[in-house]
Structure 1
Amino acid sequence: MSKLIPLACAAMLASGAAGAQTAPSENPQTPVLGKDGKPVQQVTITGGRQTEMEERRTSTAAKQIYGREELDRNGDSNIGDVLKRLPGVTIGGRPGRGGDVRMRGLGSGYTQVLLNGERPPAGFSMESLSPDQVERIEVMRGPVAEHSTRAIAGTINVVLREGYVQRDKQLKLSDSIEQGRHSPNVSLTVPGKSGKLSYSLSGSIMQNRQHDRGETHNVDTLDDGTVVKEQEVSDRSSGITKGLHLTPRFTYKFENGDTLNLQPFLMANRSDSGSDSTLVQPVGQMAPEYNFADQQSHSSMSFLRGFGNWLHRMDGNAKLDVKFGGGIGRRNSESLRNQYDSAGTLLERFTDTDSTRDRGVNTGGKYTRPLGQGHLLAAGWELEASRREQTKVELDKEGKAQFADSGDNLTADTRRAAVFAQDEWDITPQFGVYLGARWEGIRTSSKRSAGEIENTSKVFSPLLHGVWRIPGHEKDQVRASLTKSYKSPNVQDLIALPALSRLNSATRPDRTGNPDLKPELATGLDFAYEHYIGRSGILSAGGFVRDIDNLIRRELTLRNTELGPRWVSTPGNIGHARTAGIELEAKFKLTEFMTDAPDMDIRSNYSRFRSKVDGIPGPDNRLDQQAKQTANLGLDYRLKAAPLTLGGSYNWTPAIRVQSSLTQTVEVGRKRALDWYALWKFDGRTQLRLSANNVLAEDAIGSNLVYANGLAARADTLNPTFTVWSLRLETKF
């Protein structure tokens, strides 16, 4: 289907151009005569939307685009599984359970993730977004002026479903099975047109069932080797989540050529879960906090976000694109936890509730004007205001608050303003340059019982991108970029209410915020050599360097609190760091190299990274959770004797060991994810897909070692992962 989309668009545009001619001739060889009897010059117009690879090739600033073909390839149930196969992209956490999205191995906010070009609302997770609601994914390794430069590692822009590429209604029915638990999903897209109004109504409903278990081994050891405490913790949990996603899109074209686009986005999820924990302590002078605990939890989340833009065309092919939007979000959670001793006597009961409300509005615009062939000037602005209201209560069985601000309302206001300008110019057919600059200011203020908190950051980012198309080699080009980018502290790191750990220790600390954080500032250099193959193939080799100041890291301290001595993790600016790496990518059809080869697509990429944090002893003084390397390999084979396509992908990340501070070392085991699928096309309108994700189902292992005050505290974790089988029927009508 995705291969027919460009052809359908080209046919539609060509037919529209033909219909616009004043006097079309039935015989193309017969000239059309004007009033003076002389032949009228005829112009044949052909057009069509560029393919993803053509857009990548012609863009001056490096940009990779992945459309519906990539999104539909493996029949994934969430965007996170799609992202993990893209070059240089990894997903934190264990396979099948998602985590933060990382480019170049950098997590913790270094990667900017956008939704329709805007930062998504607080609490939004790509794991909760279905690929059926997405039109394409744009990956930019270097920042550009029209998007925020809060992108030290890069930017991933997820563009929601658009209406102009579809003619038929599309229905997708799927069911995923994990450990015998079914998770059905129904997705429907209905395009239409009424006069000058065109629309696409997309939505999906889902239900997800999961069961998890894990083991943790805690050991505290003195310098002389004496074990003072040893614990074995076994955790189990089961839950069910129900969700509704709606992403309609409306486009209205005015008589003067102006266009108005509106795209609401609704996401609503409800979850119920139960868990239990068993704690065995063979060594320890003090009795454990509990021997058995059970917990029941309920949470709900709903986001309503509106995207809109008005496109006004002006003289000289100039245009003004004004964007506007707003949204509200609501998250509620409540849990009841009971803790018992070995005799079954209730020791403690904890009641936790959290109610968070987010709302915000934003506007912006971009004015573009061509200054000649291959020369485009653009400038714009962005304004955003958001507010968070949070009430968090943690009580014990006596009704006593667990921290000083428990039950108090926390309010946080964020104001952001930005202006930018960019000049994209093909100086010669072989050489193009992009000059850009962006100024962005963010102010966050909060009120709570402890007093008012305010944090302000202002960053100016000059940007330079260039591409050289090698003369005599039309398929080869070289790219280079020199940019400034940054990472701003998020609201949680600035003003977060305490998050208490039920088994507080050096390896399980409480977490809190720091209102004095400064943004991290980075100077970046990117370069790449690209060789294009056919319509959709590429061989690419590149590298990057990032020099980072004001690095933010969490620091571990032992504090006296109202609950007694407790370990607390707090973010702080610790100094300077540098990271660099190489990135290789190969994507092609085997038939482009061998005439009689099988009809097979090959996709592969390999990245290798290194980093160093000043002030922390090596050799593992790397940036937080950055792997040394990562690789992906994907194959798609279309059989000639049957309407069957077989494919799969393999993702590999080796074990990670990071000296995160003077006292703490964190290890994460290797991650290998093997996925495969089989696609049977009954006809041009109906197909059936069988897929398996995380076929190897390897255990996720890790360890956390803290050495302080003559005591070494180590926690080793083991969490099983599971294979997910999915069956999906896709039909158009």
Structure 2
Amino acid sequence: MTRTRRPALHPLPLALMLALSAPAWSQTAPSPATATPPAKAPDPAARPRPATPPAGKDATDNPTQLDRVEIQGTSRDDDQRRAATASKIVIGREEIERYGDATIGEVLKRLPGVTTGGRPGRGGEVRMRGMGGGYTQILVNGERMPPGFSLDELPPEQIERIEVMRAPTAEFGARAIAGTINVVLREALQRRLNEIRLGSTFERGDVSPQLSWTRNDKLDDSGNAYNVTVNAMQHKRIDDNDSRSLTRTYDSTGALQRETLLTSAGQSRDDRKALNVTGRLQLRLDGGDTLAIQPFLMVNRGSGSSFASQTQTPPVDDFERIKYDSYSTDSATRASMARLNLQWNKRLGERTRMETRLGAGRMRMNSTTHREEDRIDSASPFYRQQDDTTRSRDTQWSVNVKLTHQMDNEHNLVAGLEGEGTQRDQTRGCTEIYGDTMRRDNCAYLADFGDNVSASQRRFAVYAQDEWSVGKQWGFYAGLRWEGIQTDSSNNQGPVRNSSSVLTPLLHGVYKIDEKSREQIRASLTRSYKAPNLNDVIGRLSINSQYTCNPPELPCGPNLINYPDRLGNPGLKPEMATGIEIGYEKYLSKGGLLSANFFYRRITDLIRSQAVLEAVPYAPVERWVVRPRNIGNARTYGVELEAKFRLDEYFAEALPVSLRSNLSLFHSAVDGIPGPNNKLDQQPRYTANLGADYRLRSVPLTLGASLNYTPTTLLQQSEQVLNEIDKKRVIDLSALWTFSPSVGVRVAASNLVPLSYGNGSVATTPGRIVTSDSTGRSFTVWTLRLELKV
């Protein structure tokens, strides 16, 4: 599993120094700033301070010239963060736009403890605390999206803010062992905004244009307002895919019998067009009630192609022989999602209000794939052609009722009911041709499993919480939530049912060291859980194409551990976790922040997908099958350090450069799996970020740069399999030239110094060791965008 790697810039010492030594810099008394910072919400305790006049001149020399003033204070995002009892990070429009990111994943990767999957510069699956596999709860406007939805399908222009909650709360749900990310779409604010953004990204010679339009305005003077955001884009990507697999076979004495090397080289291409429309109509009703109507529409069309050739050295004659020398695929997909949310806020009294939210949506996806495999071998000719058409439809509904009552003794009581349902119907039609004579008109050759799936998942919850203050320095939160989930599915195997229910108590507290909340300590003790997702329970059988079988024409033989079949597990139980959070925050006078947060989770009934050799009904011999399984218990803990501040706050003569840095350290251990790499899925040892931005004084130019680094990760997946996940080092640059308050041009580069990225594994079974490795190049993604406010 050894690979040649390019040297990486290692930010760990620098980020650690910034995060831990910043308080010591405060020994130097700051001087008045000489430049106006980016716009911040004013702090009531802050006072305007006059700028220092140039040497040799007096401000009274020109009585008509006004002194430049600076309003110091924390940002509106940090105000929301420090006002919350439970630990929360809020990312607003300013931070979302700072580096001109093309995806939400690229925005989130810079936050403490957040990592993303996939190749550098591409966004990808978002994970908190480095924990993959559904430990992070993803919400859009407080609602869970249907299966198959990805945050990267939402363009950043459609997002008002992002709320990151490190510990679960009763209101947002306890399905958040790692934490919760809630994406809030653009809101109908009562101010006029008519913004157009026209741009394009450039990667590997491909041009991906994008157009977005946002309109925000009042309907009248009574408070009725609306917002509409439209985003149209075309996306093109090319990926190189190279892999190698070395199989060593040993006899009973441990002597090496044979080495077989399998190499593969290929390329894939993806071309996608998407239209996203979101809106919000805010209406004020009689009696102070409000009604919000929020439609959301997504339409996606795409096509893709791939090809690869593989070579086996030396050729072998047993079941390890490759089934084809080359393959090519062509595919086309169409997806659409429409959702409508209604939110009604009603006053029931002077201190009591009720919030009712109703949601309904449908997501459709159609895909067709044509695949050809060929083997050039006169002794055993092989040719297979497969046409696959899959249609799926997900229907989703949700009901939420929340009652809030403010009491005299500063208790804020909240109680709520929730209901949610998802129905999935999926059909598959497939045709396969083997050579000139063998033909089947349906790929569902395993009749016991079938290709048509109908499944539903229903969730109901009830919760209550109390948030109160004791004096001016103590704040507490106590919550209790019960949640039940039931999954039903039907296929040729008959009905399948999976039911679970959990009770989760939640406690949070905050101590304000000073009454203005500039320095505070947080603590949480919570229970959270991770429910099996729909695909884990009902996952349809997938036969590995390298060791395929098609009875009765072709016998089902054995396969290898690195080429397993895949199947769901209807007997899964939810994972339960007990968690502790302890954090410290210090808010600086110029909008900066220093924080340190420690977390711990003890997890029971851990779910992990593992390959196990088992008897199967479709083969006379045992085959390796990957299923999600409850394998035992685990624990994880870590610390998240964050420092963001203006450089001139600690160095009197420094430029007003805004620095942002964070360092997150992780550790985990899974019981029953040998160490030292028995970690939770995909969790790295640490992740670090360092960023800076500066608004020049002489020209209307704002510059920004950031570095994101995640080291190579070794993961003991099971007793037999050790995985390696490659390091990620992403350097981003951004420049914004503001011609006027309404016209700006942004140039950005993501993944400026690209590295190859890949994964590897070592699988050890009796008499056999298989070492596998796959790599692909990454590329710089350039963005050019014109930003207009009409």
Q: Give runs of aligned pairs for residues 212-611 of structure 1, distance below 5 A.
A: 212-223=239-250, 224-286=255-317, 287-342=321-376, 347-372=383-408, 374-397=410-433, 398-399=439-440, 400-405=442-447, 408-471=451-514, 474-504=517-547, 505-534=560-589, 536-559=591-614, 560=616, 562=618, 566-611=623-668
Q: Which residue of 1 aligns with 2:51?
A: none
2:202 aligned with 1:159, yes or no?
no
2:189 aligned with 1:184, yes or no?
no
Q: Kindly tell me: are residues 243 and 356 of structure 1, through their superposed partners in 2, closer, same or farther at Cα, counting changes over 3 Å? A: same
Q: Distance in 1 between matches of 2:157 and 2:544?
A: 38
Q: Which residue of 2 aligns with 1:198?
A: 225
Residue correspondences, number: 693
Deviation of residue 509 (structure 1)? 2.1
Deviations 1:429-480 (A, max 9, x none): 1111000111000000111110110000101000000001114785211100
2:170 aligned with 1:145, yes or no?
yes
Q: Distance in 1 between matches of 2:340 and 2:637?
A: 38
Runs of 4+ in 1 over 6 A off after TM superposition: 343-346
Q: Kindly tell me: are residues 474 and 390 of structure 1, through their superposed partners in 2, closer, same or farther at Cα, counting changes over 3 Å? A: closer
Amino acid of the residue matched to residue 593 of structure 1?
Answer: Y
Q: Distance in 2 between matches of 1:182 and 1:271?
A: 15
Amino acid of the residue matched to residue 536 of structure 1?
Answer: G
Deviations 1:326-370 (A, max 9, x none): 100011111011111237976111222221110011111111111
Q: Distance in 2 between matches of 1:597 and 1:374?
A: 45
Amino acid of the residue matched to residue 321 of structure 1?
Answer: E
Deviations 1:6-33 (A, max 9, x none): 58xxxxxxxxxxxxxxxxxxxxxxxxxx
Secondary structure at the residue paired with 2:193?
coil
Deviations 1:361-411 (A, max 9, x none): 111111111113643111111011221001134442112525525764211
Q: Kindly tell me: are residues 227 and 70 of structure 1, through their superposed partners in 2, closer, same or farther at Cα, counting changes over 3 Å? A: farther
1:5, 1:165 within 8 Å by CA — same for their partners in 2? no
Q: Kindly tell me: are residues 206 and 613 of structure 1, through their superposed partners in 2, closer, same or farther at Cα, counting changes over 3 Å? A: same
TM-score, with length taken from structure 2? 0.85
Q: Distance in 2 between matches of 1:66 and 1:719?
A: 32
Deviation of residue 589 (structure 1)? 1.6
Deviation of residue 526 (structure 1)? 0.4
Q: Which residue of 1 aligns with 2:710?
A: 653
Q: Which residue of 2 aligns with 1:88?
A: 113
2:322, 2:546 within 8 Å by CA — same for their partners in 1? no
1:241, 1:271 within 8 Å by CA — same for their partners in 2? yes
Q: Which residue of 2 aligns with 1:121?
A: 146
Q: Distance in 1 between matches of 2:74 and 2:297?
A: 29
Deviation of residue 719 (structure 1)? 1.1
Q: Distance in 2 between matches of 1:166 and 1:657?
A: 51
Which one of 739, 745, 769 corresponds to residue 712 of structure 1? Answer: 769
2:755 aligned with 1:730, yes or no?
no
1:403, 1:498 within 8 Å by CA — same for their partners in 2? no
Q: Which residue of 2 aligns with 1:23?
A: none
Amino acid of the residue matched to residue 212 of structure 1?
Answer: D
Q: Distance in 2 between matches of 1:229 and 1:395?
A: 33
2:236 aligned with 1:209, yes or no?
yes
Amino acid of the residue matched to residue 190 of structure 1?
Answer: R
Deviation of residue 714 (structure 1)? 1.8
Q: Distance in 2 between matches of 1:529 and 1:84?
A: 22
2:140, 2:182 within 8 Å by CA — same for their partners in 1? yes
Q: Distance in 1 between matches of 2:171 and 2:322?
A: 55
Q: Distance in 1 between matches of 2:684 and 2:634?
A: 16
2:535, 2:568 within 8 Å by CA — same for their partners in 1? yes
Q: Give runs of aligned pairs for residues 644-683 of structure 1, distance below 5 A.
A: 644-683=701-740
Q: Kindly tell me: are residues 710 and 88 of structure 1, through their superposed partners in 2, closer, same or farther at Cα, counting changes over 3 Å? A: same
TM-score, with length taken from structure 1? 0.91
User: Which shifted more, 189-198 or 600-609?
Assistant: 189-198
Q: Kindly tell me: are residues 373 and 184 of structure 1, through their superposed partners in 2, closer, same or farther at Cα, counting changes over 3 Å? A: farther
2:201 aligned with 1:168, yes or no?
no
Secondary structure at the residue paired with 1:162?
coil
Secondary structure at the residue paired with 2:95?
helix
Q: Distance in 2 between matches of 1:389 and 1:437?
A: 34
5+ residue gaps in structure 1?
8-47
Deviations 1:279-334 (A, max 9, x none): 11112413421111111101111111122210012323221111110100011111
Give % identity: 42
5+ residue gaps in structure 2?
1-35, 43-72, 434-438, 548-559
1:392, 1:407 within 8 Å by CA — same for their partners in 2? no
Q: Kindly tell me: are residues 346 and 97 of structure 1, through their superposed partners in 2, closer, same or farther at Cα, counting changes over 3 Å? A: farther
Q: Distance in 2 between matches of 1:184 and 1:123?
A: 24
Q: Distance in 2 between matches of 1:609 and 1:156?
A: 19
1:389, 1:412 within 8 Å by CA — same for their partners in 2? yes
Secondary structure at the residue paired with 1:515?
coil
2:689 aligned with 1:689, yes or no?
no
Q: Distance in 2 between matches of 1:182 and 1:726?
A: 10
1:611, 1:623 within 8 Å by CA — same for their partners in 2? yes
Q: Kindly tell me: are residues 432 and 448 of structure 1, through their superposed partners in 2, closer, same or farther at Cα, counting changes over 3 Å? A: same
Q: Distance in 1 between matches of 2:152 and 2:362?
A: 20
Deviation of residue 592 (structure 1)? 2.4
Q: Which residue of 1 aligns with 2:17?
A: none
